[in-house]
Structures are given as C-alpha cells and as structure tokens.
Amino acid sequence: MVPVEEVQVLHAHWSSDSITGYINPKFYIDTFSVDRVPCQDPGLKQESKQHSCMMLSSFRFVIGRSPTNSWILGLTQGCNMSTATEMTHDVVPYKLHRLEQGPDVQVKCTRDEAIKYYKQMRTIRVMETTASNLYKSKIIRGFCHLYSGQEAVAVGMEASITPDDSVITAYRAHGWTYMRGISVKGVLAELTGRSSGCALGKGGSMHMYSKNFYGGNGIVGAQVPLGAGIAFAHRYKGEDSVCVTLYGDGAANQGQLFEAFNMAKLWDLPAIFVCENNGFGMGTSAERAAASTAYYSRGDYVPGIWVDGMDVLAVKEATRFAKDYVLKNGPILLETATYRYHGHSMSDPGTSYRSRDEIQEVRQTRDPIGKFSELATSSGLLTKEEIKKMDDEIKKEVAAAAEAAKADPELPPEELYSYIYKNPPANIRVRGCDDTIWGATK
Amino acid sequence: MATAAQKICSRLSKSSVAFRFPSLLRSEVRNSKCHKYLQSRQISASPAVYGTIKLDMPSLSPTMEQGNIVKWHKKEGDTVSPGDVLCEIETDKAVISMDTEEEGILAKVIVPDNTKNVKVGTLIALMVEEGDDWKNVEIPAEAVKPAAAAGSAPSPATATSSTAQTAGGAAAHAGADLAGDGHLIGPSVKKLLQEYNIQASSVSPSGPGGALLKGDVLSYINTNKLDKKAQEAPSPAAPKLASTPPPPLAAPPVGPAAGENYVDIPLTNMRRVIAKRLTESKMTIPHAYATIDSNVGAIAELRETLKADGIKVSVNDFIIKASALALQRVPRINGIWENETLKLSPSVDISVAVATPSGLITPIVFGASYLSVDQIGNTVKELAGKAKEGKLQPHEYQGGSFSISNLGMFGISDFTAVINPPQVAIMAVGTSRSVASMSGNLSKMKVTLSYNSCAISEVEATRFLEEFRHLIEHPQTMLAGTNLDTAAEAFAF
C-alpha cells in the first residue's frame, strides 16, 4: 500500500449498501460500497453493516491507494464527532432554606459549554497536580493549598456570573484565580515566586488577585465581611453586579460571618455567600466541628440552597438562580457539598483524619471531572476521542506553563519597596528590609 | 496527570470500533501520517517514549533534603490510579506514604526498597500510560548516575551485582587457580575453601559463567554453620574487606548477621545534623586558638570554706561565673557574627555543653554575669537533668552568646572545641592538675579559647583570657558581685 493520507469526511451519505464520502477538497468525492467500508472485521455480521454505516458519520476515515490502484477506505480509531448538540441533565435535588422555589432540577448544557467546562475543570486539576509536584521538588515553597476535587464549584459559579461580578475567596485560591482570568502561567509563576506571577511573585499561594477578584485571603473567614463590603460597593455604585464570597466549612463556625450576614441582610446587599463544604476544616471533620452541618440553613434569616458541589451543572444553575435572587431580594447562602483530595496544605498528608479508601471512593464515584465527562460522553455531547485530545492539550499547555514559571526571573530586591505607598517618599526605607537596598521611588 | 476522565476515556476506547478493526489498522495504516491518530494505547506496540512519567524523590517535609525508601507498595507492571500509594518514604521526621496523581502503569522501580539517603529530586521510578509496553520502558541516562552516585548507600541490588562483578573480575585477574570444572578460583576464595576445608564442587557458584565467588563460599559457610579448621596463624581480617557477602535484601542491618563480627549502627539524624553544623563551622569560620594556664588553688580553698558554711558549688560553676564576668569586661567576645557584622549581645548567655546519650547539647545559662555562683550551679544542675531526660525546650538551648565545653571534669587535660555559630568563641576547659613549683604543688587548669578571627583579634582574645585567669585566681572578686565600673569601662573599649 502506498502512502496513506488521513482525511476527514466532511459529510457523508449512506444507503443500505453504499456510502458517499465528501472528503477533504484536496481529495475527491467517491462512493464506496458498504462491502468496501471496513467491515473486514470478522465479528461484524452482514446484517449489522447498515448499523455500522450509521455510526460512520462520527469516525475519521482513511483513504489510500492499494498496489492494484483501487481505493481503500478505512477508518481510524474512535468517534471524532459528537452526535448531540445539547443535553438535559437531572441534578441531585437541591435543599432549600426559607425559599419557596429553588433552581431548576433539569439543567441544559450545549456542546460548546460542555467543552468549556470540561477544559476549565481539567486545567485546574492538572495545574494543581503540577503545583503539587513542583512543591515536592522544592521549587514552590511556603504555603500551598490545592483545589483538586473542588473544581466544579469555581467552574460552575463562574459560568453563571460575569466578569463585572466580584469574587472573593479564602486561601484555597488557585482554581478561582484561573477562573477569574489569570493564565496557568500567571498562577504557577506566582507560586514559584517569579515576576510573571499574577502578583509579581510577591503573594504566593494565598494572595492572588485579578480584576474583580479580591483574592485569596490568608486570614480564615476574614474575606466574608470584606465580601459583604464589596457587595455593598456594587449596590452603592448602582451596578447590577453581585459579589460571590466563598468560605469553608471550618470558617463557617466563626462569629464574623454572622455579623456579615446580619449587615448584608439588613441592607439587602447583592451578596452570594458560598460555603464550600469540603468536609474538613483543616484536619477536623465538619461533624466534629459544627453543631449544625446544614450550612445552607445557618444564615437563619438569610435564605439558603444546598447544591451538589461535585456537579458543575448543578452549581451553575444554583448560581444563576442565586444571582437573580440577590439582585432582587438581598443575600443568599449556597452550600456546595464538595471534597478535597489533597491534605489541607502541603504539610498535611491528608490521611491521618480520614482513610485512603474514603478518598479513593470519592475519586471513583463522585469526581467532578470524571462524572461530567461520563455525562457528556453518554449523552453524545463529547466523544472520548475529543476528551483524550483535550486532556493531552491541557497537559502540554500546563507543562509549558510550569517550565515558563520555573525559568522566569525573580523580581530584583528593589521591588521589596514597591507597592507599599502610592507616592513613596524619596529614599524610603522599610523596616525588616536589607538596608543596603534602596527603594525604587518611581 | 490523567484522572478519572481519562480512565473512562481509555476504558471506553477499548470498546471503540477502532479496536474492533485492529488488523486493518496495523497492516495498512501504521507508519503513515495518520499514525498519530493510531497511537491508541491499546494497539501501540512500540516501546513507549511518549507518555513516560518520571517520578522523582519528593520532598515530603519542609526540611527534607534526602530520605529513605522503605517499601514499594506497587510492583513493576501494576496499574496505578490517582490517589494510590506508591511507596513509603522515611523523611527526616516520619515515614510518609507517597501517593500519586498520575494514572498508568508502574513500569520501572529505579530505587528499590530499603534504600537510604536518596536525595530529593532523584529519579526513583518510571510510569507509562495504560496500554503502553511497560516492560520495554526506556530508562533515562540520568537514572543510572544518581543511583550509583547517590553515594553513601547503593541499593542492595546494585551492591549485589557490583560485588559479584568485582569478585568475578578479581578471580579472573589476581593469581588464580582452576576449579574442578575449569573455572578460575580467586585467591581469597581459595583461602576460604582451605580454611574451612570445603570442596569447591560442593558450593554452587553464582558468578559470571558459573564462576565461584567468595560470597558463595561465605553463604555456604553460613548455611551449613561451618567452623574453621584449626589455624596455625592468626587469621587476617580478610572477611571484613571488600568482598563480604551482601547483606540480606529484606532486613536492614541492625544487629550482627550470622557469620559477621561487626555491627552497623545507622547514622542518626541528630549525629547527621551535628556533623553538618561542625563541618560548616570549620569550613566557614577561620578558627584561631589561645590557651592559658591558671592556678585553681584559690578556688579549691574557697570551695572548702563555702562547704563548711553549707554552700556547695563546683569548680565548673566558678568557671562559668568567671567567663561571664570576663565577657562583661571584654564584650567583643560576647557577640554574634552575622552578615559579616559583629553584634554585641546585651546580656551574657552562656551555652554549656552537656553530654547526652544521643550527643552533645548546649542548654543556656541566661544572664550568667548577674547570677551568683550557687545560682549558676543550680541552673546548670537543672538544665543538665532536663537535657539527659531529653526534656529541654527549644528556648532553653537555642541562642546563647558564648559556649563553654568542660571535658576537664572527665579528666581531659586540654583540648580545642569547634565554634558554635553564630557565636564567635567557645572555651574548652581542661582538668586541674598538680604542677610542681618553688612554693610547693600548684593546682593548674588549662583553658583553650577557640575564636572567630574575623570577629575577634588576638589582642581581645588575650585580654579575655587574662581577665578569666585573674578571676579564677582571685575567686573572691566573683563572690563580691559584678564590678559594674569595670564593665562600663570595658564597653567603652
């Protein structure tokens, strides 16, 4: 067989005994009898040929010239085209607190959305795995809190808000930073402390920011009053935007949250408070720490919704509902039930307060990415081939970003003095900084 | 970085139509431009280079620089899912399970069980993607070097083979005899055979091409519990040398193995830290030394007097007090050397070396110049007790502005000590000894000051020792309390 060209059938018609492939214009149009279509497979019976032709629309074709100059049509592996453009998904029922009506239980998702959500979740996962490896190679130092397992929360919420809406979260901020428009390199370089990091490498894991993203916050729970304040700013400026404020199940027991809830409700601020319940406040399980683990109901007079935080579409729909609600009625509380695969931080192996089996079970039965790809493939929105291809692309992209984040220069020492004062006095000196270095007074 | 999605993907693609047409794909489309689409995990037969995942020794604690691989939980060829435990690694603090986020097959374990001191970043294993040919995984060249150069403890497997090769090589080169089967027998093997009166043919050989190795004979001796024939000459230390049999793979050497008459005591982390600190000190600090001999007769007399009054103080307590006062008078010795700057310490905090079963530790007598001799004695007693029970709190042994190491109380006549950075000097105290003189026997004691000659000049070191000797020889000044005038004067120096 002479060299074979791989071509894609742009369009195909089939009858009971032949298939016409409109192939890449570079080639030509030809008709192949069903017998010539790769039914050489002995397992495929004559009566199922028609069925196999039906399936051909979603395959890649191979065409080539045999020594006898006859054209051969073959197909390469896998489906490459989806068969559906939209699916409807029944989510795990929401639990409501002080709400007559909740978000829709049936959520629609288009093919484009599916690709987008899958890519976003997968990118966060691969980015966090890379961060973990860089940490274990001592390239990332200091604090590092990973988001693996919780991807559906950030991706689902971002899908229902706009860049004009604000987000403020806790110290587990990498995934959210990426969702708020910072590149993978921007996140990883921040972690490695390099100048192309989103905070110039000065912030690290807990202090990443971007437009309308008020960052990771190092102080547990402190972002919640700030979030109420940001919501107030939106109201004050007369904007139609909301502020999403995230905190964990550990922080949920703090007093300052209830102060923030009180003021938000008192003034009916457009605030969505989100308890990302990953089951553990550091090493203490929610059950051991909270008198009530129904976090969605703990705003008392603030209405709440429990949502499956491992289902990106459920989170998306709940957020859509919540945004709509808070603009009209004031604050709402979402509890997203999710799970964290890694320890609390890199110094926590994460297995002293829960069993490995528990983690593995969640990975196998509730993983937000695995579940979503299963859903998308079974409904025909995406094909396994497409998913594999996306996975490979993401892997390469993140690996390249990691290399860049390693190679990037650190900031010069003079930068220790910048961004402290708006108009720094000449020859500013900062306590604790090496006094052989003088501040940049630009 | 594969996860559940990929797992599903790969699971499904097994049932895909492509998989049902393997003959077509293989025979007609391989090596073509469309090859990239055919690189299905199920049908690729070439040794996988694409998708090989390198696993490096991870840093599992913030201070870990190297660790020990205790045990692999996965074997070569095992399937690995995200979150699975690959192996157990002993860090400087604990044994921690190393898990992975990758999915695939563990193709090659490069650093095996029971390997010590594997540096962070060393390649320890290779994984390939599911469906790849894990048996033919390409081992990167870097893997060979670190394994051999990882240095202190080569892996048992490597040790075995290299020992075997060395022995085999030796047999071939060094004046050899022929065994019954025509193989060469090395001189040391021959000697062993003779010593134990063993027929070469009764030992099964394991060397290259069936050569009989010394290790074979030794293990034969071990298994059969043979004793040496009566010896005319004392046996040389031969069995201790290079080609002793490799230790058994499974158990780390903790006690004497049968047939071996030495015990391996693994380096403890405390000894490792001590070694590191001492080397660092000797390498980076220009040590200079000065010794002075002082008459301790007066102290002995004073002690007797105090004893009569019910106050028990030791010579060591006087030495600490004398150093503290001398430091007050020559404050440059009482400092910290940091960033090429000598920072004078506002108080005299003396680190006193105390021997504990695991090594030397230096609890601190804080504000020693303001304590009376008996207060110093009580403090030292309390600290030494805590140190021996291992109950010292970090704040009780971290810091300090000057160190004293007194081996004199154990009879050492004089010695030199290594400076304990960031301090600038340490005083090594010898025992008191009788010296004949015109006025009868004197009791004399040598102390040696080791000092950082960047921070301290010879003149200052000498002044300090002079002050120290003066105080030791006039102990009543120590009892009189701090001479504040002198101290103030000294600061002006």
Domain CATH number, residue B373: 3.30.559.10
* Residue B139 sits in the same domain as residue B281: no
* Residue A247 sits in the same domain as residue A390: yes
Residues in B touching A74 (Cβ below 8 Å): 21, 24-25, 28-29
* Residue A98 sits in the same domain as residue A17: no
- Residue A197's contacts (CB-CB under 8 Å, 6 or more residues apart) are A186, A187, A188, A189, A190, A191, A203, A208, A405, A408
Is residue A26 less than 8 Å (CB to CB) from chain B? no
Residue of B nearest to A386 (CA): B9
Please check whether residue B314 is in contact with residue B302, taking contact to mean a CB–CB distance below 8 angstroms.
no
B186 is a domain residue: yes
CA A86 to chain centre: 20
Residues in A touching B123 (Cβ below 8 Å): none
* Residue B300 sits in the same domain as residue B405: yes
Nearest to B33 among A6, A372, A373 (CB): A6
| Length of chain B in terms of residues written | 493
**Residue A137 token pair:** 């190679």
Residue of A nearest to B43 (CA): A77
Question: What is the number of other CB atoms lying within 10 angstroms of the CB of residue B350?
Answer: 30
B253 is a domain residue: no
**Of A220, A302, A305, residue with least CA distance to A258:** A302
The angle formed by the CA atoms of residues B49, B55 and B59, to the nearest 5 degrees, is 155
* Residue A301 sits in the same domain as residue A369: yes
Shortest CA gap B151–chain A (Å): 20
Task: Please indicate whether, in this complex, the C-beta atoms of A125 and B83 are within 8 angstroms of each other.
Answer: no
Tens of pLDDT, residues B242-294: 444 444 444 454 555 555 678 888 887 778 888 888 899 999 999 999 999 99
Range of the domain at A212: 86-407
Q: In which band, very low, low, confident or very high, does the pLDDT at B204 lie, cut at 50, 70 and 90?
A: confident
**Of B127, B113, B216, residue with least CA distance to B167:** B216
d(CA A244, CA A169): 8
* Residue A295 sits in the same domain as residue A421: no
The angle formed by the CA atoms of residues B218, B219 and B221, to the nearest 5 degrees, is 65
Q: Which of A79, A103, A122 is the last residue of a domain?
A: A79
> Exposed, middle or buried: residue A44 (CB in 10 Å: 0-12, 13-18, 19+)?
middle
The angle formed by the CA atoms of residues A87, A92 and A98, to the nearest 5 degrees, is 120
Tens of pLDDT, residues B394-430: 888 888 999 999 999 889 999 999 999 899 999 999 9
The angle, 0 to 180 degrees and rounded to 10, between the axes of the packed helices A111-136 and A384-407 is 40
d(CA A333, CA A273): 5
* Residue B408 sits in the same domain as residue B467: yes
* Residue A303 sits in the same domain as residue A374: yes
Q: Which of B154, B181, B206 is the last residue of a domain?
A: B154
Return mean pLDDT, chain B.
Answer: 76
* Residue A253 sits in the same domain as residue A174: yes
- DSSP bridge pairs for A281: A284
* Residue B205 sits in the same domain as residue B289: no
Interface test with A, best of B7, B8, B9 (most A CBs within 10 A): B9
**Residue A116 token pair:** 């987008």
Is residue A67 less than 8 Å (CB to CB) from chain B? no
Torsional class of B168: left (φ above 0), alpha (ψ -120 to 50), beta (otherwise) = alpha
* Residue A36 sits in the same domain as residue A163: no
**Of B200, B154, B149, B194, residue with least CA distance to B179:** B200
pLDDT of residue B260: 61
Residue of A nearest to B121 (CA): A137
d(CA A198, CA A185): 9
**Of A404, A430, A407, A426, residue with least CA distance to A417:** A430
B312 is a domain residue: yes
Please check whether residue B20 is in contact with residue A44, taking contact to mean a CB–CB distance below 8 angstroms.
yes
* Residue B206 sits in the same domain as residue B108: no
Tens of pLDDT, residues B93-136: 778 888 888 888 999 999 999 898 999 999 999 998 887 888 88
* Residue B176 sits in the same domain as residue B301: no
- For residue B422, say if its preceding peptide bond is cis, omega within 30 degrees of 0: yes
Interface test with B, best of A51, A76, A378, A396 (most B CBs within 10 A): A76
Shortest CA gap B339–chain A (Å): 11
A412 is a domain residue: no
Residue of B nearest to A378 (CA): B12
* Residue B421 sits in the same domain as residue B464: yes
Q: Which of B84, B119, B154 is the last residue of a domain?
A: B154
Domain CATH number, residue B108: 2.40.50.100
Q: What is the ipTM of this complex?
A: 0.71
Residues in A touching B12 (Cβ below 8 Å): 377, 384
Residue of A nearest to B25 (CA): A76
**Of A182, A425, A436, A152, residue with least CA distance to A314:** A152
B257 is a domain residue: no
pLDDT of residue B53: 87
B116 is a domain residue: yes
Nearest to B97 among A40, A351, A387 (CB): A351
* Residue B140 sits in the same domain as residue B192: no
Is residue A106 less than 8 Å (CB to CB) from chain B? no
Measured in degrees and rounded to the nearest 5, phi and psi for residue A36 equal: -85, -20
d(CA A249, CA A275): 6
Q: Which of A57, A79, A101 is the last residue of a domain?
A: A79
Measured in degrees and rounded to the nearest 5, phi and psi for residue A163 equal: -60, -15
Please check whether residue A327 is in contact with residue A270, taking contact to mean a CB–CB distance below 8 angstroms.
yes
- DSSP bridge pairs for B335: B344
Shortest CA gap A242–chain B (Å): 33
Give the three-class secondary structure for B460. helix
pLDDT of residue B210: 74
Task: Please indicate whether, in this complex, the C-beta atoms of A6 and B60 are within 8 angstroms of each other.
Answer: no
* Residue A167 sits in the same domain as residue A202: yes
Question: What is the number of other CB atoms lying within 10 angstroms of the CB of residue A290?
Answer: 18
pLDDT in tens, chain A (442 residues): 233 344 444 444 444 444 444 443 334 334 444 344 443 334 433 333 333 333 444 444 444 443 443 344 444 333 345 567 889 999 999 999 999 999 999 999 999 999 999 999 999 999 999 999 999 999 999 999 999 999 999 999 999 999 999 999 999 999 999 999 999 999 999 999 999 999 999 999 999 999 999 999 999 999 999 999 999 999 999 999 999 999 999 999 999 999 999 999 999 999 999 999 999 999 999 999 999 999 999 999 999 999 999 999 999 999 999 999 999 999 999 999 999 999 999 988 888 899 999 999 999 999 999 999 999 999 989 999 899 999 999 999 999 999 999 999 998 887 877 888 888 777 777 777 666 665 554 4
Domain CATH number, residue A222: 3.40.50.970
* Residue B79 sits in the same domain as residue B217: no
Produce one character per residue of B122-150: b if its CB has 16 or more CB atoms within 10 Å, e if not: bbbbbbbbbbbebeebeeeeebeebbeeb
B246 is a domain residue: no
Range of the domain at B113: 46-154
* Residue A54 sits in the same domain as residue A201: no
Task: Please indicate whether, in this complex, the C-beta atoms of B58 and A52 are within 8 angstroms of each other.
Answer: no
B80 is a domain residue: yes
**Of A374, A369, A375, A377, residue with least CA distance to A126:** A369
User: Which residues 373-412 in chain A show a CB within 8 A of chain B?
Assistant: 373-374, 377, 384-385, 387-388, 391, 395, 398
Task: Please indicate whether, in this complex, the C-beta atoms of B17 and A75 are within 8 angstroms of each other.
Answer: yes
Structural domain count, chain A? 3
The angle, 0 to 180 degrees and rounded to 10, between the axes of the packed helices A111-136 and A312-329 is 100
pLDDT of residue A58: 40
pLDDT of residue B193: 84
The angle formed by the CA atoms of residues A298, A300 and A306, to the nearest 5 degrees, is 45
CA A288 to chain centre: 29
Q: Which of A79, A110, A128 is the last residue of a domain?
A: A79
d(CA B212, CA B168): 8
Whether the predicted pLDDT of B155 surpasses 50 = no
pLDDT of residue B492: 40
Residues in A touching B19 (Cβ below 8 Å): 77
| Torsion angle (degrees, nearest 10) of CA A286, A105, A318, A161 | 140
Question: What is the SS3 assignment for chain A?
Answer: CCCCEEECEEEEEECCCEEEEEECCCCCEEEEECCCCCCCCCCCCHHHHHHHHHHHCCEEEEEEECCCCCEEEEEEEEECCCCCCEEEEECCCCEEECCCCCCCCEEEEEHHHHHHHHHHHHHHHHHHHHHHHHHHCCCCCCCCCCCCCCHHHHHHHHHHCCCCCEEECCCCCHHHHHHCCCCHHHHHHHHCCCCCCCCCCCCCCCCCCECCECCCCCCCCCHHHHHHHHHHHHHHCCCCCCEEEEEECCHHHCHHHHHHHHHHHHCCCCEEEEEEECCEECCEEHHHHCCCCCHHHCCCCCCEEEEECCCHHHHHHHHHHHHHHHHHHCCEEEEEECCCCCCCCCCCCCCCCCCHHHHHHHHHHCCHHHHHHHHHHHCCCCCHHHHHHHHHHHHHHHHHHHHHHHHCCCCCHHHHHCCCCCCCCCCCCCCCCCCCCCCCCC
* Residue A332 sits in the same domain as residue A395: yes
Structural domain count, chain B? 3
What is the residue whose two structure tokens read 């695969």? A341
* Residue B236 sits in the same domain as residue B287: no
Question: What is the number of other CB atoms lying within 10 angstroms of the CB of residue B321?
Answer: 27
pLDDT of residue B227: 78
* Residue B344 sits in the same domain as residue B447: yes
Please check whether residue A163 is in contact with residue A182, taking contact to mean a CB–CB distance below 8 angstroms.
no
* Residue A300 sits in the same domain as residue A394: yes
Residues in A touching B37 (Cβ below 8 Å): 6, 60, 76-78
Residue of A nearest to B66 (CA): A137
Long-range pairs for A44-49 at CB < 8 Å and ≥24 separation? A44/B20
Please check whether residue B432 is in contact with residue B442, taking contact to mean a CB–CB distance below 8 angstroms.
no
* Residue A379 sits in the same domain as residue A427: no
Torsional class of B141: left (φ above 0), alpha (ψ -120 to 50), beta (otherwise) = alpha
Contact pairs from chain A to chain B, CB under 8 Å: 160
A368 is a domain residue: yes
If you average pLDDT over residues B443-453, what whole number do you get? 95
* Residue B292 sits in the same domain as residue B340: yes
B15 is a domain residue: no
Q: In which band, very low, low, confident or very high, does the pLDDT at B73 lie, cut at 50, 70 and 90?
A: very high
Task: Please indicate whether, in this complex, the C-beta atoms of B17 and A78 are within 8 angstroms of each other.
Answer: yes
d(CA B204, CA B208): 12
A72 is a domain residue: yes
